[in-house]
Chains A and B, each alone.
Chain A
Amino acid sequence: MSEVIVITSGKGGVGKTTTTANLGVGLAKRGYKVVLIDTDTGLRNLDLLLGLENRIMYDLVDVATGKVPYRKALVRHKKHDNLFLLPTSQIRDKSAVDGDQLVDICNQMRSEFDYILIDCPAGIEQGFKTAVAAADYAIVVTMPEISAVRDADKIIGELNRADKTHIKLVVNRIRSHMVEAGDMLDMSDIDDILAIECIGQVPDDEMVVTSTNRGEPVISNKKSLAGQAYSNIVGRICGEQIPFLDLKKKNLFDKLKQMLHV
């Protein structure tokens, strides 16, 4: 049984591509055969986050137009040999691939892969319409910021209009000290407003930046809290019940209490 999941957000810069890369690596680590499709034609980046930018021969546009079969365009990951990337073109634009073409590509891939993750571009124009066309369900990524939540709400509306009603939420880049001080929207605020099931709460973590620098998704870094949060999302996608991480920074007093089991 294969599942096609689109990772979308409306707003740019909230971490769609980072989420796609991490979930891809996480699912592959669990032994699933996974393909990641970058649909951000003209502004591709998923290859960089996976450290595969030097291995691209063909792209999504070549496959969509029938120039090459999809297998010829796939790039195998260096460390995880059951993880593949279908990169997109950096020189064409969003009009180069339409929804029907992507549906067709995904249908061909379904028999070979357990998970097909589609990295959606920002915006609600053609690129978005193409990316969501093939999806069985959608993961909406947002941040605890007024503009990101507004755009997530808009995207949820657009997904519903496209008959994609199976939608899950990931809240990225949570700054726990600001939430505690009341200076950032907290999870209950976002739940109240968007009212869709949340499968991820990811803290803002500098290790996301350093791991992006190296082209190694942070989920492989056991010391990173964001990495743990992404691992938990992977578990929830696989149907496990996992409690959310406590993102509060522990001070000396908390640590003492933990040690004394009180």
Chain B
Amino acid sequence: MLKAVMRLFGHEEDKPSGRVAKDRLRVVLIHDRANISPEVINHIKDDIIKVISSYMDINQHDMEISLSDDENSVALLANIPVKRIRSQVMSSRNTDR
């Protein structure tokens, strides 16, 4: 009962554990069904870092990459915290053109 009242007042962290289980299951099953090994995901992550790094300073430790379901398709989600944009790279590129 108390839980229900707390929920009413917007305590998101108190969402029922059955709901949490469902949400966690959804994510884990996307990975299971896609049959991609963590190694491959790590390769993708390294490659993304390589590409992005020439344009931006990124926080590699806090970077997260995961698969997610988007309606009926699977999406690759990358959350990459940016520390700084390398302005000189951008301007040198512009002058190349």
Contacts from A to B (Cβ < 8 Å): 144-146, 149-150, 153-154, 157, 178-179, 181-186, 189, 192-193
Contact = CB atoms under 8 A, between A and B. Distances in A.
B71 to A, nearest CB: 13
Interface string B41-85: 000000000000000000000000000000000000000000000
Given A146-B24, A185-B22, A153 B17 contact: no
For the residues of A in contact with B, the DSSP-based class is helix
Contact of A182 (B18, B25, B28): B18
16 contacts: A150-B32, A153-B32, A157-B33, A178-B18, A179-B18, A182-B16, A182-B17, A182-B19, A183-B16, A183-B17, A184-B18, A185-B21, A185-B22, A189-B21, A189-B22, A193-B22
Contacts of B18: 144, 178-179, 182-186, 189
Nearest to A184: B18
B21 A146 contact: yes
Contacts, number: 43
B86 interface: no
For the residues of B in contact with A, the DSSP-based class is helix
B62 to A, nearest CB: 26
B31 to A, nearest CB: 10
Nearest to B1: A181
A193 B3 CA distance: 26
B33 A153 contact: yes
B26 interface: yes
Contacts of A189: 18, 21-22
B26 A193 contact: yes
Contacts of B25: 146, 149-150, 185, 193
Interface string B1-45: 001000000000000111101101110110011000000000000
Interface size classification for chain B = 10 to 19
Contacts of A185: 18, 21-22, 25
Contacts of B28: 150
A12 B8 CA distance: 39
Nearest to A189: B22
A144 B18 CA distance: 9
A130 B50 CA distance: 47
Contacts of A184: 17-18, 21
Nearest to A178: B18
A150 B33 CA distance: 10
A186 B19 CA distance: 9
A150 B19 contact: no
Given A146-B25, A185-B18, 12 more contacts: A144-B18, A149-B25, A150-B25, A150-B32, A153-B33, A154-B32, A179-B18, A182-B18, A183-B16, A184-B17, A185-B25, A193-B29
A225 to B, nearest CB: 21
> Most B CB atoms within 10 A — which of A144, A145, A150, A182?
A182
A84 B21 CA distance: 40
A146 B20 CA distance: 10
Enumerate the 6 nearest inter-chain pairs by beta-carbon distance, A residue then B residue, closest first: A182-B16, A189-B22, A146-B21, A183-B17, A182-B18, A184-B18
Nearest to B26: A193
Given A182-B16, A182-B17, A183-B17, A153 B29 contact: yes
Contacts of A157: 32-33
